[in-house]
A and B are shown apart, each in its own frame.
Chain A
Amino acid sequence: MESASNTPETPNAQATGSDASDGEPLVAVHGLTKLFPVGGGPFRKPSSFIHAVDDVSFQLGHGESLGLVGESGCGKTTVGKLLVKLLEPTDGEILFRFGDPDAPVAEASWDSAAIKGRLLRSFRRRVQMIFQDPYESMNPRRTIYDIISEPLSVQGMGDVQYRVDRVLEILTLVGLTPAGAFLFRHPHELSGGQRQRVAIARALVIRPSFVVADEPTSMLDVSSRAGVMSLMQDLATELGVAYLYVTHDLAVARYMCHRIAVMYLGKVVELAETEELLRNPLHPYTKALLSAVPLPDPGRRRQAPDIRGDLATPIDPPSRCRFYERCPAATAHCLDHPHPPMEEKSPGHFVACYEV
């Protein structure tokens, strides 16, 4: 098929990494930790903790997109919710630098913990999230117009006519055409992929500076996905929108992300430029992940990924390497040492493993 409209730009061709804007990252995360208590009640002390996110650090530049991949339940959504202040971290700090000259707030750098009240409102204008589940993240009683225009209306932007126009515009951009036919439908009248596009439209309609996109295209076919991805990239180039792009689909990460961080049980275990990571994975978990990607070829049989055991639990894990129980390369050294620190093995390629 010689069909090649909507070709997303190669992200690597653009400015890469945190040096996109005078060296100041948009988001800087240091030692981020989130523990969820288990077994506690209102008057009882929790017996143990889920280490959903454990000492995670990374930086994200203006207009950059960082992919976050990892096992289901490893804490990716939790990192996203911490960044958009839906959850408060147990420990660690998050600094934002929006670099926006006409920001109502004079501060150059915002400490996430200090964002409250009025500041929180203008923070919400800059930071948005696309939720993982397009079924439950929309109020079933509201129409598509209500849902998409909600950020505009709660922020008091424009009048009804302006909002309607913006909503129609963004609906067309995410491929829900004819836009007028979707405006007054309810979410239950849309298919899964159509809802996902509504979720994306809602996050982008306000033109934020930073978007946490939690599996935004997991229910879209390749063709609709290409359109949405190119829209997101256009916004990144035009407005400098940065993305934290949570995904399971490494092929999508390959097209959307400048860098990829791999998480395992609350820890980032590897972080590198996208192509470098895909060509030269160093951590045993990343290798297993890449080998498990299915191929669109019924004739070929992949062997099972190289990974042992199955159940790893984030409840009070021992202090040694989180991947130890399942690691094919584990040694005695790994057993009696703490979780390995992140080390830069080659420029920009960080990995947390003793055996690399």
Chain B
Amino acid sequence: MNTPGPVSPIPTPEFGVEPGRGRVRFVLVRLRLMWRSFRNGWGIFMESRMGRVSLFTIITFALMAAAHPILMAFVWDPATYDPVTGYSFDQVEQPAPPSWKHLLGTDPLGRDVLSQLLYSTRSEFVLGITAALVTVGIATFVGAVAAYYGRLVDSFFMRLADLIIALPAISLLIVLSALFHLNLFYLALIIGVLGGFGGTAIILKSQALSIKVKPFIEAARVAGGGHFHIIFVHIIPHLLPLALLYMMFTVTSAIFAEAVLSFLGLLDLRMSWGIMIHTANTGGYLLGGTRYWWLIVPAGASITLLCSAFYLAGRALDEVVNPRLRRRND
């Protein structure tokens, strides 16, 4: 059995029998299949208005993030436009309202608001995406393992999840940030870990449970697949679509959490949308009503827009990964 017996080669249009070439073809076919299913999903995503709007918004923000270093290198003079250390000397009064030189005005410390806004976009993306990757990585693994092994492993992770859900995340973050200097990376990590061991893990576990009872898992065991094989080859791929969806939602909550913490002045960041609002607030300009709108509206609107864009992207993805929402309501 261990030594391969004689094989009668069967020439087919797809596969020659020359050794070596088979493997390359093989990989190509795989890639093409993946491409095809990606294209199908893409079509469904783009069919929904939510999908198109959210994608457009996200791309716009991504372009903004990319624009900042270019502007700083070629257009803007760092002394004036640096988002943190710049100072606009030609304004008599700070904060100054929008002008041709400062399209969104300057803040109470004389810094250009547009530059701050663009500069922060990148950190928001880094934050959101790191948090989302950490969440989904942990939640997928925890969900699959808890569902697969059940019993003690399951109880342990589920009680842990209950505990995390019971803790109010924002207050926990406030406590943590008061105790430690939280920079962007640690913040992303904490949000990711909280989400990963918390609610997202429970959702992915219930999905994994419905996969675990399917006969193809038994079939894989009979084929000789070990625990590792079954978890990674048969269970986790079925969780990925749902995981992707929760990734979108995590981005939303991470950006939001950062805004709240920065607003409270608890984060050790150079600049972010939350800090922009925080600066306006400490100067007392939040009370000034609409007079100093440029201090609040750009950052506030960006937070709202990007958060909802990721949320809507999640909803549109839901339609891709949950065919039940599309057709067959029975």
Contacts and interface: CB of A to CB of B under 8 A. Distances in A.
Do A and B pair up? The answer is yes
Interface of A: 81, 84, 86, 100, 102, 104, 121, 124-129, 131, 133, 136-139, 141, 143, 150-151, 154-155, 157-158, 160-162, 164-166, 168-169, 172, 178-181, 183-184, 202, 206-207
B225 to A, nearest CB: 5
Contacts of B271: none
Contacts of B15: 164, 168, 180, 183
Contact of A184 (B17, B19, B33, B216): B33
Given A139-B234, A141-B237, A161-B22, A131 B17 contact: no
Interchain residue pairs A-B with the least CB separation, the first 7: A180-B12, A124-B224, A180-B14, A151-B223, A137-B215, A136-B215, A161-B22
A160 B224 contact: no
Contacts of A137: 215-216, 218-219
Contacts of A104: 2
A292 to B, nearest CB: 28
B188 to A, nearest CB: 30
B168 interface: no
Nearest to B240: A141
B215 A179 contact: no
A150 B218 contact: no
B12 A169 contact: no
A309 B326 CA distance: 45
Given A139-B234, A180-B12, A164 B223 contact: no
A22 B214 CA distance: 40
A138 B216 CA distance: 5
Q: Chain B: interface residue count, which band?
A: 35 or more
Given A125-B1, A131-B218, A139-B234, A202 B223 contact: yes
Interface string B100-137: 00000000000000000000000000000000000000
Contact of A154 (B10, B33, B215, B229): B229
Contacts of A166: 4, 7
Nearest to A148: B223
Given A125-B1, A164-B22, A184-B33, 16 more contacts: A121-B226, A124-B221, A139-B216, A150-B225, A154-B224, A160-B23, A160-B26, A161-B23, A162-B7, A166-B4, A178-B13, A179-B12, A180-B14, A184-B14, A202-B219, A202-B223
Interface of B: 1-2, 4-5, 7-10, 12-15, 17, 19-20, 22-23, 26, 29, 33, 214-216, 218-226, 229, 234, 237-238
A335 B26 CA distance: 66
A155 B218 contact: no
22 contacts: A84-B222, A124-B223, A125-B224, A131-B215, A137-B218, A137-B219, A139-B234, A141-B238, A150-B220, A150-B223, A154-B224, A154-B226, A161-B22, A162-B7, A164-B26, A165-B9, A166-B7, A179-B10, A184-B33, A202-B219, A206-B1, A206-B223
A106 B238 CA distance: 40
Contacts of A154: 220, 223-226, 229
Contacts of A162: 4, 7
Residue of A125, A154, A166, A183 contacting most chain B CB atoms (<10 Å)? A154
B214 A136 contact: yes
A168 B12 contact: yes
Given A125-B1, A164-B15, A168-B12, A86 B223 contact: no
A231 B175 CA distance: 70
Given A160-B23, A168-B12, A86 B222 contact: yes
B2 A157 contact: yes
A138 B7 contact: no
B205 to A, nearest CB: 16
A14 to B, nearest CB: 22
A168 B224 contact: no
Nearest to A166: B7
Nearest to B238: A141
A84 B221 CA distance: 10
A86 B1 contact: no
Contacts of A158: 4
A138 B224 contact: no
Contacts of B1: 100, 125-126, 206-207
Nearest to A146: B233
A124 B229 CA distance: 14
Residue of B5, B218, B219 contacting most chain A CB atoms (<10 Å)? B219
A166 B229 CA distance: 22
Nearest to B7: A165
B218 A169 contact: no
A172 B216 contact: no
A36 to B, nearest CB: 14
Contacts of A202: 219, 223
A169 B229 contact: no
Nearest to B18: A161
A157 B3 CA distance: 8
B14 to A, nearest CB: 4
